[in-house]
Amino acid sequence: IAKMEKAFAEKNWKLLQHQSHTFKGTAGNIGATKLRDAALSLETSLKKGNIEIHLIKDKLSILESSLDQLSKALQLIIPDNN
């Protein structure tokens, strides 16, 4: 996410698209559908050249929120052995 935020801040749309694509694939591989869909939405907008800053920022925020929800869900089912 930090690399994606950096790419967004630098308006490096090609890198952000690539990172979204990678994120989409990884999320899909682990069955994290909501996260995959958020990454796909961001990737698709960038691929189409739909570079409205507020739209991209919103989609990036949705992706971050989806990752946070997944992380919290995993913490509930995976015991912390510390």
| pLDDT at residue 59, rounded to an integer | 94
pLDDT in tens, the chain (82 residues): 899 999 999 999 999 999 999 999 999 999 999 999 999 999 999 999 878 999 999 999 999 999 999 999 988 888 776 6
Q: What is the CA radius of gyration of the chain?
A: 13
- Entry pTM: 0.86
Instruction: Assess contact for 5 and 60: CB atoms under 8 A.
Output: yes
Q: How far apart are CA 65 and CA 35, in angstroms?
A: 9
Chain mean position to CA 28: 12
Give the residue among 70, 59, 56 at the shortest CA–CA distance from 28.
70
| pLDDT at residue 81, rounded to an integer | 67
Q: How far apart are CA 68 and CA 49, in angstroms?
A: 27
